[in-house]
Structures are given as C-alpha cells and as structure tokens.
Chain A
Amino acid sequence: MDPTIDQIIFLIVSILTLGAGFVVVTNRNLLYSALAMMASFLGVAAIYVLLDAGFLAAAQLLVYIGAISILVIFAIMMTRRLMQSTETSFNAQWGMGIFTALVVFGLFVAVIGNFWPLAPAAGQPLASGTAVPDGMLQDSIAALGRAFVSVDAFVIPFELASVMLLAAMVGAILVAWPKAEDEV
C-alpha cells in the first residue's frame, strides 16, 4: 500500500514533534530545551492543520509559540546565567517516571484504540460512528464566535472567563509587586 501525501506529511510532522519533545526533557541546557519546545508546539500546530482545524492551529501558533514560549525564554534568561546551566536533566526517580509514563501510555492506547481503531479495516474511514458532524466544520470560526455570545450557548462561561482572567491578573500583580520593605 502506497502512503498518501497526507500520511507522509503526518509522519514527518510527528517525528518533528516527538523528537523535539524528547530534546526538551533530555537537554542539559534550559534554553535549548525551550527552543525545542517551540519546535514541538509548531509540530502540534501542523497536526491541527492536517485535521482541518484552522482556528485551533492559529490559536496554537499565537498562544503557545507567540506567548508561552517567549515567556518561558524570558523567565530562563532573567533567572539563570545563560548557557551555564549544567545540572543534569534526570533525578533519582527517572526510572519510575518512565515506567509510569509507559504504563499510562499503554493503557490509553489499549483503551482508546479499542474505541477509535488505530488501524481501521480497509475501505473504512478513520472515524468512529460518532464523528463531528460535517456542518460543524463549515464556517467554524463564525459559528464559534456566535456560540460565545448567544444566550443559548456559551455566553455564561465566556463571561465567567473574564472574571477568571481578572482574578489571575490581580494575582500576578500581587505576586510580582515588590514587598513593602523593598520600597524606597
């Protein structure tokens, strides 16, 4: 069976994502880890594009690569001497950690693969009986926008998110504000 172009792209993107993720946890230099994390995020965004989830891909680019990675790099640069961190990226529990991660991964693959088959029978599309309806994929950004503000949909969680962000902002200022004795 010849792989289709989609499958080849998917393979390349997955290898990029997972390989970068591996570098994140094994590299001794935190800055390189952060840069590898950006590459990994980029791979995830590409997978979203392959899944026809354009909005999600854009959000991934803006939020994860644009904001979170920059923040992480800022934090590293401000708190450590750059390029000098030589601490090992493993601690005494790495064996247990790998074991737990593999067991949980195996469990997920077994359980979820049972419901959404990883290798569907020939001629059967890679989807279960309860896929997202086609109508939802058309014009999804406008539908998302309407759902956020209509009273029959998600207006209450949407509004509540603003209170949550207010609380988070207050907290951020509170934590970062100089303590009273530091003031001049």
Chain B
Amino acid sequence: MTPDIPRSWVLALAPEISLVILLLAVFLFDRLVKPTERRRVGLLTAWGAFAILLLTVGIWLVGGEPSTQTGLADSLMWGGMIRSDGVSLVFKLMFLVALAASSLISLDVERLQRGEFFALLIAATLGFSLMAASADLIMLYVALETASISSYILAGFATEDRKSAEAGMKYFVYGAFATSVMLYGMSLIYGITTQTNLYLVGSMVMNASSIPAEANAVLLLAAVMIVAGFGFKISAVPFHFWTPDIYEGAPTPFVGFVSTASKAAGFAVFLRVFSAGIFGAPDSSSMWWAMLVAMAIITMTLGNFVAIFQKNIKRMLAYSSIAQAGYAMIGLVTMSPDGSGATMFYLLMYLFTNIALFGVVMLVGKETNSVEMDSFNGLSRRSPHLALVMLFALLSLSGIPPTAGFFGKFFIFKAAVDAGLWWLALVGILNAFVALYYYLNVVKCMYLYRSDEEDKPIPVSRAVKVGLAVLIFFVLYLGVFAGPAFEWTREAAGAFFALAG
C-alpha cells in the first residue's frame, strides 16, 4: 500500500529531510577523516547547511512563495502537524544561516572538532525549524524537545571543562522543568477542547458557544504555564536565570548559536501559538496580554541594568541578550502583522549580529584564554579587522545606524506606536540608551585602551574570515536596504493573522 502523499507536502519538508541526511553524513564522515584534518567535519557541515539553504530558496522560488493568499487548509500539511507558510520559510532560512555560520566559527576550536558536535548542531537546527513550522501542540512539543536535548548536550560539550559541564547540567535541569510546566499547560488545553491542532483549538476558543465560560480561567492558567516554557527559550524574565551561567560556561560558538537560533525558535512558537488564539482572541483585551507586556518591560529593564555591572564579556552579552528579548517582545505584544513582522526582522538582524559578535569573542578568548572585558584592550591595534567586526556588531546591538540594529529597533518601536502603545516604545527607547553605555564600554576597551600584546595579531583562519565577513556584510546591508527585508517578514507575518482563510 503506497500512501498517497501530495508532492507539496514532501517539498515543504525537503529542507528537514536534507538536514537528517546531512546529520547521518556527518557521522559517517567523522569516521573517515584523518585525525590531522578534523576541521573538515565542520567544513562539511557548513557546506551542507549552505546547500540546504540554496535548496530551500530554490524550492521557494520555483514553487512560488507560500503567501498569505494561500488558505489555511492548503498550508496545513501532514495531518495538520506543520504549516508551510511565509513564517516557517523565514525562520527556516534563519536557522540554516545560523547553522552554517556557527559551524564555520567552531571548526577551528580544537575541542569541538568532533562529529558529535556538528551532528548535534544539525539536530538542534532540525528541531528549531520544525518548531517554527509546527501547527500542532504535539508536533511543537516533540520539535522543542529535539532542539532542547541537543542544546543541553552542546552546552556541556566540553566535558573536561568544569564550567561547561556545569552549564550543561544547569541548562538541562532548568530546561526540563520549564518544559514539563509547559506540557502541563498543553494538557489543560487538550482537556478543554480535546484537540491539539492550534487552529482547531483557536477556532473553538474564539467561538464562544463551543466552550463554556468557566473555561476562561483554565485557559489563563494554561497560558501562564505555556509562557513558562516559551519564556525559558527566549530567556525572558523571570525565566532567565539560566542565561548568564550557560553563556559563560558553554563553548562560545554554541553560545552564538543558542542565543540567536534558540531565541528565534522560541519567538516563532510564541507568535504562532498566541496569534492562533488558543488562549482567547489575540488582542489587548485578554488577561495574558497584560502579563506579556509586563514581562517585556521587566525583561528589557532588568537585562540592561544588570549588564552594566558585568566584567565578563560573555555574562554581559547574556544579560544583553535578555534585554534584546525584551525589545523583540514589544513586537509580539502589538499582536499585529506589523509588530510580528518587526519582531521577525529583529530576530533576523540579531542572528547576523550576535553570531559575528560571539565569533570574535571566541577568537579573542581562544588567544588570550580569558573572556574578561580587559582581554579586549587594544584589540584595534592588535587585529584591526576583528575590532571593526566587533564595532559594527556592537553598534547593531545598540541600534545605531548604519547597521541593521537601527532598523530592527525602529520597526519595532514604530509598530508599537502605531498600535497605540507609545508608552511601551518609550520604555524601549529609554532602555536603548542605557544599553548604549555598556556596549560602548567594550568599544572603549578595544579602541582607547592599550595592552602589552599589541604586536601579536590574533590568528584567524580563512573559514572564520569568510563567516565573519558574510555576517557583517548582512549587518550592514540590512542597515542600508532594510525595506525589502522588512516587507518580506511583514508579509510572512500576515500568515499568523489570516486565520479566517
């Protein structure tokens, strides 16, 4: 018996299927390479990710873009498990870029030159991209666990390093707890509706007659519990406690990956689940909306103010990444295509920026065996190009033109003002000024301070050079030509709200 599977279903999953093939290929290749050429495993991963990226873009261009015009019924595939729309495409491309860039950056780190590291990176990417595409609570949960389990192991990958082992353990314990709370929330949703598909649940909840009024309290409880799981992924306060320890202890290239791809995947499910209306209509009348706004404000403020006092650059970037999650949440709480598109653009620019940033931190940390702030002293004389990459990345994070970060913040604040949330935008802008202080502090170390080792440039391999150059190119490109990219993400985000289709 051959099941009758439509071709579009297979094509929609082609990137994920290719990722599984790449994963197995990496395992095989790992056994074949000579011990002296270990870095080839990383190169294979990077090339593979690049090839899948081309494949995904190719399918998109040839097959016609999944647009908002496609009805809900056409975009739901595999029994309603996944949805192939603009959103899943945008996020899929983001994760593939993150995979390629992270493997380029990690392939010269000796203790990471193992097939397992890259295979787990691929498994995590697979989990992330299915998370972003999932339209069913069960699919969502399995995809999230695939990504999480791979991430726990990656965080503790350097088992000989106590800090890394501790990071892996903390990430695992905290993550398992957050996920189990989230699962409880999902089971409440199923108990009320006996459905797991987001859109079926959403239409039942928003259609007042199918659900008794007493269910609203249960729905709110479920929303709180599910936010605990998603908030952990995006490291929003008060689910952020793991962030500084994991960022400090885990291998630096992986931190670049987890801080961007994992956060993006968390926001993808956040946007999809809440805009599907499974807790009630996605607008500011719901009680959970106030909770999300409060979380956004606290996340931004706490992240920025604690970051000021950090001496270790990885801990500082951890708090900075908490703050960045707060800005991105502003776009989320507008509950409009504009705001969601702005959040997606923000995540896109954050991806290029942060992976480049952690690439430089990795290079400097490897050379100086320290990730304290003063190891960046005199970097502009020591390795002017690396300092320049770092400068642009920091400017982008603080939202200064001509970098992508400026437009990232601009679109988010504009969406908030358009939605009538000018006070929320104001909080964001004030926070951006606070953040400027600690970002420019690093710039000050690099350009104004001197160090004794200025005559010793930091060695950079060609692969890392290519990776950093491409990332910074996009940071600048999106900083100049942000319009088309924002249009693209905004149109994609329309799919969240085209529920009637």
Contact = CB atoms under 8 A, between A and B. Distances in A.
Nearest to A168: B149
Q: Which 9 residue pairs spanning A and B have beta carbons closest together?
A: A171-B153, A164-B146, A152-B79, A157-B142, A167-B123, A111-B217, A153-B79, A167-B150, A156-B81
A82 interface: no
Contacts of B256: none
Contact of B221 (A111, A128, A131, A166): A111
A102 to B, nearest CB: 16
7 contacts: A157-B139, A157-B142, A163-B23, A164-B146, A167-B149, A167-B153, A170-B119
Given A107-B221, A156-B82, A157-B138, A164 B149 contact: yes
Contacts of A151: 3, 5, 9, 78-79
Contacts of B9: 151
Contact of A160 (B3, B142, B188, B194): B142
A170 B153 contact: yes
A154 interface: yes
Interface in B71-120: 78-79, 81-82, 116, 119-120
Contacts of A179: 159-160
Interface string A87-108: 0000000000000000000011
A86 interface: no
Contacts of A170: 116, 119-120, 153
Given A150-B3, A167-B120, A174-B116, A115 B79 contact: no
B37 interface: no
B214 interface: yes
A144 to B, nearest CB: 13
Interface string B136-161: 10110111011001101100110110
A175 B149 CA distance: 13
B434 interface: no
B192 interface: yes
A155 B80 CA distance: 11
A163 B116 CA distance: 14
A115 B212 contact: yes
B126 interface: yes
A163 B125 CA distance: 12
Given A111-B217, A115-B192, A166 B78 contact: no
B388 interface: no
Nearest to A161: B142
Interface string B193-231: 110000000000000000110110110110000000000
A130 B153 contact: no
A52 to B, nearest CB: 16
Interface of A: 107-108, 111-112, 114-116, 128-133, 150-157, 160-161, 163-164, 166-168, 170-171, 174-175, 179-181
Contacts of A163: 20, 23, 123, 126, 146
Given A154-B79, A156-B78, A167-B120, A115 B217 contact: yes
A130 B79 contact: no
Interface centre among A150, A157, A170 (most CB of B within 10 A): A157
Given A132-B194, A160-B130, A160-B142, A108 B221 contact: yes
Given A156-B78, A161-B142, A114 B217 contact: yes
B161 to A, nearest CB: 11
A166 B123 contact: yes
Contacts of A112: 188, 218, 221
A171 B149 contact: yes
B138 A171 contact: no
Question: Chain B interface residue count: which class?
Answer: 35 or more
Contacts of B138: 154, 157
Contacts of B119: 167, 170
B215 A115 contact: yes
A36 B421 CA distance: 54
A160 B215 CA distance: 32
Contacts of A130: 191-194, 211
Nearest to A177: B159
A171 B3 contact: no
A111 B218 contact: yes
B81 A154 contact: yes
Contacts of B130: 156, 160
Nearest to B133: A156
A175 B156 contact: yes
A156 B126 CA distance: 12
A170 B152 CA distance: 12
Nearest to A112: B218
Given A112-B188, A164-B149, 7 more contacts: A115-B218, A130-B211, A157-B143, A160-B142, A163-B23, A167-B119, A171-B149
Nearest to A180: B160
A160 B146 contact: yes
Contacts of A157: 81, 136, 138-139, 141-143
Contacts of B150: 167, 171
Nearest to B212: A129
B305 to A, nearest CB: 26
B73 to A, nearest CB: 13
A73 B130 CA distance: 36
A179 B78 CA distance: 43
Nearest to B24: A166
Contacts of A108: 221
A111 B221 CA distance: 8
B251 to A, nearest CB: 13
Contacts of B153: 167-168, 170-171, 174-175
